[in-house]
Structure 1
């Protein structure tokens, strides 16, 4: 099994367990709430963790078929998986702090700290490039192998 495949499988496990654990957190928040609702970012952390776990499995399958060298597949996997993890981490932080219902709404805050516009949007642009680029590397390598 290649390094890219091992990274994807490991990330799938970590993200899936994060999804299960944030599901417990979500349930606890719902049970404590008069409206039986969890904070938005607790819910987002739960759902995104589960979705990213299956995305990591898919990327692992792509890596297993990819015709690209292992270093390139590893770079693609690390890029996509790293930003999946950073996104989940951001959602967990916002869920814990209960500081926003929309992290992209101005003013950008993290708890009581105001964040400059360029940090939030720079992160989002980098996230898009890393997730799409990493997935494209693995997916294109797999498509070249099967066609």
Structure 2
């Protein structure tokens, strides 16, 4: 469990703030999902309304995990900040994209080609580039925090 003193660490602070934003998004998209289901003749929300709801909730808990790892890491506050912030930005971007697709109800699979948002076609390769950056940012950021925690564990044993 995080201690109050850990809140002075920038990586912890940004992670806790993001967790609150993501959890709020999960609650709000949950209400949106319910209203869609209530109005639907088949009692079903659009695919990306459901995805936005579930990922917002999951990312809120992932942000708490990042906060805990940032608090425990042996690395500098600046390294831990960026290692937490980069995945959090990608989490937020994913949620935002899901919400946009939910509002537009324009697809049931955003990775199906041709890639579109509403009636607008996205530049060729843009989704692949975004996905590679997302994977590098999320996996890399967490790997740095995890390595920092492992370093701290090795130092204390």
Query: What TM-score does the superposition give when structure 1 sets the normalisation length?
Result: 0.98
Q: How many residues align?
A: 147
Distance 1:128 1:117 in 2: 19
SS at match of 1:83: helix
Equivalent position of 2:121 in the other structure: 114
Distance 1:32 1:62 in 2: 42
Q: What displacement does 1:139 show?
A: 1.5
Equivalent position of 2:42 in the other structure: 35
Tell me how large the CA RMSD over aligned residues is: 0.7
Larger Rg: 2
- Consecutive aligned runs of 4 or more in structure 1 exceeding 4 Å deviation: none
Note if 1:5 corresponds to 2:9.
Answer: no
- Structure 1, unaligned runs of 5 or more: none
Note if 1:77 corresponds to 2:84.
Answer: yes
Equivalent position of 2:3 in the other structure: none
Equivalent position of 2:96 in the other structure: 89
SS at match of 2:125: helix
